[in-house]
């Protein structure tokens, strides 16, 4: 059974309908990517799943419905969402940001271990643990946002365009680290990303979104190898 099952997902900002009946699913322990151009509704998918925009349809996470639940309650079920624009707490320190990531956990000892673990994965964050998050570079802030989500020990990790606005080399580096971490821990991931190259290297399965509908679905390798698909949907 899939960890996340979405059927007929609709979402709108006022009268503007952004998602028009999406069906997709993410299997336990797999990494799914949603690709598509700007304005296709990628961010809205994640915001709908997190309860940040009103959504209609069926969203089942581990057999329980998420539709209509408040954002904080969805996070408490183990859904970590790294939002577009990172959403770090600029005037809090790096370490405080990470501790907030583990806010809903009550296993203090394990949280401390995870903190060490995260500093191991992202040494730059360790070097800057006492620094205000707002003083970090864009790439470091993105690392911090991802690391904060990992501190939840999420059952589902949702990433919104982690490569956006950071140097390509750092984006690549971030995805490489993330791939290793996810494989090591068998983490389930839902990634939305405009950079199809990065996303297809990272993900197992991919969906292509076009004007609020899933236009195409398949294994990442398959889509990567299909020249026609690449040309029509990804423009490279």
Partner 1 sequence: MERFVQVLVDGIATGSIYAAVALALVLIFRSTGIVNFAQGEMAMFSTFVAWGLYEAGVPLGFAVLSTLVLSFLAGMAIERTLIRHFEGGEVLTLVIVTLGLFILLNGLAGWIWGFENRAFPSLFPDDAVDVVGVRLSVESLGIVAVLLGVVGLLFLLFQRTKIGLAMRAAALNPESSALVGVRVGTMLMLGWGLAAALGALAGVLVAPRLFLDVNLMGSVLIYAFAAAALGGFDSALGAVVGGWVIGVSENLAGTYVDFIGADLKILVPLGIIFVVLLVRPAGLFGTREVARA
Q: Choose between 170 and 216: whose C-beta lies nearer to partner 1.
A: 170
User: Least Å distance between CB 219 and partner 1?
Assistant: 30
Among 56, 57, 62, 89, the residue binding partner 1 under the rule CB under 8 A is: 89
Listed residue (42, 22, 6) closest to 162, CA to CA: 42
User: Least Å distance between CB 211 and partner 1?
Assistant: 26
Q: Choose between 159 and 200: whose C-beta lies nearer to partner 1.
A: 159
Q: By CB under 8 A, is residue 67 in contact with partner 1?
A: no
Contact indicator for 7, 44 with CB cutoff of 8 Å:
no
Segment interacting with partner 1 (CB under 8 A) among 2-10, 15-23, 82-90, 226-234: 82-90
Among 37, 57, 87, 197, the residue binding partner 1 under the rule CB under 8 A is: 87
Helix, strand, coil percentages, rounded to 5, for the chain: 40, 30, 30
Distance of CA 143 to the CA centre of its chain: 12
The beta strand positions in the chain, using DSSP E, are 2-13, 16-27, 31-35, 55-61, 64-65, 79-82, 156-160, 189-193, 205-210, 213-219
Segment interacting with partner 1 (CB under 8 A) among 33-41, 59-67, 90-98, 226-234: 90-98
Question: What gap in Å lies between CA 80 and CA 153, rounded to an integer?
Answer: 8
How does DSSP assign 153-198, residue by residue? --SEEEEE-TTTTS-HHHHHHHHHHHHHHHHHHT--EEEEES-HHH
Q: By CB under 8 A, is residue 117 in contact with partner 1?
A: no
Among 54, 65, 137, 222, the residue binding partner 1 under the rule CB under 8 A is: 137
Q: By CB under 8 A, is residue 215 in contact with partner 1?
A: no
Interacting residues toward partner 1 by CB under 8 A: 50, 52, 70-72, 75-76, 80-81, 83, 87-92, 96, 99-101, 103-104, 132, 134-137, 148, 152
């Amino acid at each position: 059974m899939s960890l996340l099952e979405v059927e007929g997902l609709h979402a709108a900002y006022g009268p503007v309908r952004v998602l028009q009946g999406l069906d997709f699913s993410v299997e336990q322990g797999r990494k799914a990517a949603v690709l598509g151009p700007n304005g296709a509704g990628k961010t809205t998918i994640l915001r709908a799943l997190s309860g940040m925009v009103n959504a209609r349809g069926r969203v089942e996470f581990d057999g329980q419905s998420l539709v209509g639940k408040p954002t904080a309650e969805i996070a408490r079920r183990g859904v970590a969402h790294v939002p577009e624009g990172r959403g770090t707490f600029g005037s809090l320190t790096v370490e405080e940001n990470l501790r907030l990531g583990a806010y809903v956990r009550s296993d203090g000892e394990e949280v401390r271990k995870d903190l060490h673990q995260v500093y191991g994965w992202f040494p730059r964050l360790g070097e800057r643990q006492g620094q205000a998050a707002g003083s970090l570079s864009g790439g470091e802030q993105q690392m911090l946002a991802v690391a904060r989500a990992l501190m939840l020990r999420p059952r589902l990790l949702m990433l919104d365009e982690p490569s956006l606005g950071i140097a390509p080399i750092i984006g690549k580096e971030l995805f490489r680290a993330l791939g290793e971490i996810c494989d090591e821990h068998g983490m389930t991931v839902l990634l939305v990303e405009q950079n199809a190259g990065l996303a297809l290297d990272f993900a197992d399965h991919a969906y292509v979104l076009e004007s609020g509908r899933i236009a195409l679905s398949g294994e990442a390798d398959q889509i990567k190898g299909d020249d026609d698909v690449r040309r029509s949907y990804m423009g490279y």
